């Protein structure tokens, strides 16, 4: 599973096809809720 925000780069057909081909699920942050992805953002900051 991959968690992302609703950025256009994550919503592209290419990304969705790649994830499907590799058996991955795509989980999105809820619109207007930036804290959904906060743990991962914090991880990548370190």
pLDDT of residue 42: 80
Residue 34, pLDDT above cutoff 80:
no
Return the DSSP state at 23.
T
Per the structure, the count of domains in the chain is 1
Residue scoring higher pLDDT (10 or 20): 20
How far is the C-alpha of 35 from the C-alpha of 29, rounded, in Å? 8
- Count CB neighbours of 2 within 10 A: 14
Distances (CA, A) of 10 to 19, 25, 29, 35, 46: 11, 12, 11, 18, 22
Range of the domain at 21: 2-45
Residue scoring higher pLDDT (20 or 43): 20
Cα-based torsion angle of the residue sequence 17, 20, 22, 27 in order, rounded to the nearest 10 degrees: 110
Instruction: Using pLDDT thresholds of 50, 70 and 90, give the confidence band for residue 22.
Output: very high
């Amino acid at each position: 599973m991959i968690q992302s925000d609703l950025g256009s780069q994550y919503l592209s057909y290419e990304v969705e096809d790649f994830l499907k081909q590799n058996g991955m699920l795509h989980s999105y942050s809820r619109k207007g809720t930036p804290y959904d992805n906060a743990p991962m953002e914090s991880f990548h900051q370190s």
